[in-house]
Amino acid sequence: MNLRFIDWIWHVRGSLALAPDLSRADAFDRLDPVFRQTGTSHDRADDMLVFRKKDAAAQDKMSIFDSGTLKIEDGPAGTVLRYHLISRALLFCFLAPLLFIGFAQLTIVVGERQKAAAAAKAEKAAKKPELAALPMNPIDKALGAPAPEKPKKKKDGEGKKKPSPTPAYVLAGMFATLYVIGRILEDRLVKSLFRKRLLCT
């Protein structure tokens, strides 16, 4: 299976056209401060920069990405910066809804089984003879005390809280929303960050 068809889930790719008078060395010099952050290591060649992040600081504008590659290539319209960034956080946000939906389905199955078991137990209990009233003590009877009531049958499952899939669906929705927003937003933010650094003098 070619992972390229699904790796867009946690890989961010893009490109930016460079100014005609901007050399490759100057372009990487302008981008260099972005990769001089706590927890970030990077290696630079003539036309490529490779970085990795470990325990990135929260204020790092690229903290969501774990690693990536930036290349400067010649394109039909001039020199182009192409970047390929990888984020495990995006992958987690994509997979989390599937996990919670699985929990919700499991909760439904368990609930149905409990319901079936309770119905079978109730049917079995219905076939049993009704409980007789407790005999009254002769002294209580002589004193005119009221006769004791028949013991009430406790309904099966009474007082028990039924498992609900709703919390799992809510969490699945939250992570799905977080993924969609993060995937679109981070793509735009990183492109804007690179553009600003390349335009600075």
CATH number at residue 81: 3.30.160.110
Q: According to the model, what pLDDT value does residue 154 have?
A: 56
Q: What percent of the chain has pLDDT over 90?
A: 61
How many distinct structural domains can be found in the chain? 1
Per-residue pLDDT tens over the stretch 102-115: 999 999 999 889 88
Is pLDDT above 80 for 4?
no
Is pLDDT above 90 for 117?
no
Q: According to the model, what pLDDT value does residue 157 have?
A: 55
CB 125 within 8 A of CB 190: no
What is each CA distance from 49 to 32, 110, 141, in whole angstroms?
9, 52, 98
Among residues 200, 191, 199, 201, the alpha carbon closest in space to that of 61 is found at: 191
Domain membership flag for residue 13: yes
C-alpha to C-alpha distance for 101 and 8, rounded to whole angstroms = 22
Domain membership flag for residue 113: no
Q: According to the model, what pLDDT value does residue 120 have?
A: 85
Angle at 58 between CA 52 and CA 61, to 5 degrees: 65
Q: What average pLDDT does the segment 53-67 reach?
A: 92
Confidence label for 118 from pLDDT (cuts 50, 70 and 90): confident
Q: According to the model, what pLDDT value does residue 138 have?
A: 75
Q: What percent of the chain has pLDDT over 70?
A: 85
Angle at 101 between CA 166 and CA 89, to 5 degrees: 115
Domain membership flag for residue 175: no
CB 72 within 8 A of CB 24: yes
The boundaries of the domain holding residue 31 are 3-91+184-199
Q: According to the model, what pLDDT value does residue 148 have?
A: 67
Domain membership flag for residue 123: no
Q: Using CA atoms in the order 110, 114, 116, 117, what is the torsion angle rounded to 10 degrees?
A: 130
Q: According to the model, what pLDDT value does residue 153 have?
A: 57
Domain membership flag for residue 21: yes
Domain membership flag for residue 85: yes
Q: What average pLDDT does the segment 68-96 reach?
A: 94
Is pLDDT above 80 for 201?
no
Per-residue pLDDT tens over the stretch 122-176: 888 777 665 555 666 777 677 767 766 665 655 555 556 778 899 999 999 999 9
C-alpha to C-alpha distance for 166 and 113, rounded to whole angstroms = 18
